[in-house]
Amino acid sequence: MAYTAFYRKHRPQNFDEVRGQEAVVTTLRNQIKSGRVGHAYLFCGTRGTGKTSIAKIFARAVNCEHPENGNCCNECATCKGILNGTSMNVVEIDAASNNGVDNIREIREEVKYPPTEGKYRVYIIDEVHMLSAGAYNALLKTLEEPPSYVIFILATTEVHKIPVTVLSRCQRYDFKRIPTEYIYDQLVSITQKEGVEAEENALRYIARAGDGAMRDALSILEQCVSFHFGEKLTYEQVLEIIGASDVDVFVDLMTSIRDCDTRRALQKIDDICYSGRDPGQFISDFVWFMRNLLMLQTGVVSDEEIGILPERRPKLEQLAQSMTMDQLMNYIRVFSETTNRLRLATQKRAVLEVDVLRLMYPQMLGADTGQALSMRISKLEQMVADLAKNGVAPADAQFLAQSVKNAAEGATEAVEAARYDVETPSAGSAPAQGSLGAADAGDAQEFKDLPMATENDLPLLLENWDEIRRNAPALLRSALQYAQPEYRGGFKLVFSEKGSHDILTEQRLADLQKSIARMLGRNFILGRALDGKHDAYADAGDGTTRIKNIDFPINRV
């Protein structure tokens, strides 16, 4: 008998064997039990989540001669015929290669004839988003009002490409990514059936590498079993086969970057490249590793949530606590950009090495002064904390911390002043109409004659706010998109983002008031406020700060 791949050999044969799609399975079983079967279904979701498998099970269940609780028996002649592929009642069509109008016309001709056996003729159209525009139009009428004995099941991974006219004619079912624990249980079951001995850590890593797709995980398992046929599958062997890196490699590289140990960091990269690891895959895994460190800093998370083994947690917690949150976020930002550059780079190793050096020497990030400044301040703060840990007197450590803070504030003001000088016209030049440039000599008299705005003028300000923001210089215009005028005993610009709030300096606020007065004929005395719901830092009451309301939308690439 010809060899069958794991994902085909161990495909679920009934609804009871499907894992991770309970909502879809329950709905379909109830429809079969109640006799309320629809005429068109749309199964959408990422690859390897069971769309085609459930479509085949559903096709057998609606035709089964002896259904059991809405499930197919797989024993009757109809079920066996569908399983063997000899039944004419179930037709599978690959829309990627049968995407023309003529192919749909063939379906329209076939549906005129009822099934010779069984109750329903089921058409499973896979990758339906590949159909041409003409094919969609040819399918519409048949899809809307097919004969009572015809069921269409459309499957796709890109539902956004399907016309709304087709979507409106189908019952839509969204397939979720399969939880890692379900994939692990399935891998354990398959290795036992296949007589393969494997370490628990190896199977758990394969389950995580599947990234929610059962088929991907089974393909990786099959590859590993074939490479080490007849041997016990170990964690190290899995890493070697799929080109991944152990957590210890990430810890060593992260420690080297943190300590600015150039020689050790470059040696690590050399080891990674020499062992055949793909730089793109390595960086993707490294970003995920830094995300785990960030999660360990923000609160109590379980080992399953961050995908680590219990014995490795103490080492990762120690590394996470030795770094600041700003450091990790800057590292993630830089390496996320690295991932994009690696796709087009011919010398991927050189790109990787340069970006590692940029992290150790933030002054190399000259193109983004704000990011470079933030990273350099983080390093200074870390040096102060290390000094305090190594026996420096508390008073001395406090003095050093205040010095770092003063230097940071001075540097930030210098950067903002330089940006403002670039954006703001000089006193000798005539500002453009409606611009926020420097006031001319007649400003005092001009604004003195205007009436003062009252609370009743707030609607006027809100009505013209978009126009006011559009006339602002680039940096201020960007900041004002996070501001909303309100009246709180006086006019306030309430910011939902702290960085934008800080950009509105006193000088910029004065210029903004003058611009508004020219446009609206009222003197609006403006203040600044920060919406507390969006403030990342809050006073803890003991002279320190604590983090609150933090959301990190970081996805694995």
Reported as a single tens digit per residue, the pLDDT across 186-209 is 999 999 988 888 888 888 888 887
SS3 529: strand
| 35 and 144 inside one domain | yes
The answer to whether residue 431 is domain-embedded is no
Per-residue pLDDT tens digits for 473-517: 777 787 888 888 888 878 888 888 777 788 888 888 888 888 888
| 215 and 170 inside one domain | no
| 234 and 168 inside one domain | no
Instruction: Assign residue 86 the CATH number of its domain.
Output: 3.40.50.300
Q: Pick from 360, 386, 414: which residue ends a domain?
A: 360
Instruction: Assign residue 520 the CATH number of its domain.
Output: 3.30.300.180
**Cα(58)–Cα(13) distance, rounded to whole angstroms?**
10
**Which residue in the block uniquely carries the two structure tokens 């400003």?**
443
Q: Please give the tally of structural domains in the chain.
A: 5
| 384 and 354 inside one domain | no
| 418 and 456 inside one domain | no
Question: According to the model, what pLDDT value does residue 544 have?
Answer: 41
**Cα(425)–Cα(436) distance, rounded to whole angstroms?**
9
| 401 and 519 inside one domain | no
Question: According to the model, what pLDDT value does residue 25 have?
Answer: 92
Q: Pick from 393, 423, 453: which residue ends a domain?
A: 423
| 232 and 277 inside one domain | no
Residue 131's φ and ψ, nearest 5 degrees, are: -65, 150
Instruction: Assign residue 307 the CATH number of its domain.
Output: 1.20.272.10
The answer to whether residue 55 is domain-embedded is yes
| 16 and 162 inside one domain | yes
Instruction: Assign residue 226 the CATH number of its domain.
Output: 1.10.8.60
The answer to whether residue 544 is domain-embedded is no
- Domain region containing 11: 6-175
The answer to whether residue 68 is domain-embedded is yes
- Considering the chain, what percentage of its residues have pLDDT values greater than 70? 77
Q: For residues 525 and 490, is the Cβ–Cβ distance under 8 A? A: yes
| 282 and 390 inside one domain | no
The answer to whether residue 395 is domain-embedded is yes
Please tell me what DSSP assigns to residue 210: T
The answer to whether residue 449 is domain-embedded is yes
Question: According to the model, what pLDDT value does residue 187 have?
Answer: 92
Mean pLDDT of the chain: 78
Question: According to the model, what pLDDT value does residue 501 have?
Answer: 80
Q: Which amino acid is at 271?
A: D
Q: Which amino acid is at 65?
A: E
Question: According to the model, what pLDDT value does residue 552 have?
Answer: 35
pLDDT means per 10 residues, the chain with 557 residues, are 80 88 92 90 90 92 88 88 86 87 88 85 91 89 88 91 90 90 90 88 84 87 85 82 73 86 87 78 83 81 67 80 83 84 81 84 54 59 64 53 54 48 42 40 62 86 87 79 85 82 82 86 85 47 41 35
Nearby residues of 84 by Cβ (< 8 Å), 6 or more positions away? none
User: 94: which 2 tokens?
Assistant: 């690959």
The answer to whether residue 434 is domain-embedded is no
| 18 and 144 inside one domain | yes
| 21 and 142 inside one domain | yes
Burial of residue 58, with CB atoms counted within 10 A of its CB: 0-12 exposed, 13-18 middle, 19 or more buried = buried
The answer to whether residue 207 is domain-embedded is yes
Question: According to the model, what pLDDT value does residue 171 have?
Answer: 92
Which has the closest alpha carbon to 238: 206, 211, 282, 196?
Answer: 206
Q: For residues 253 and 265, is the Cβ–Cβ distance under 8 A? A: yes
| 16 and 147 inside one domain | yes
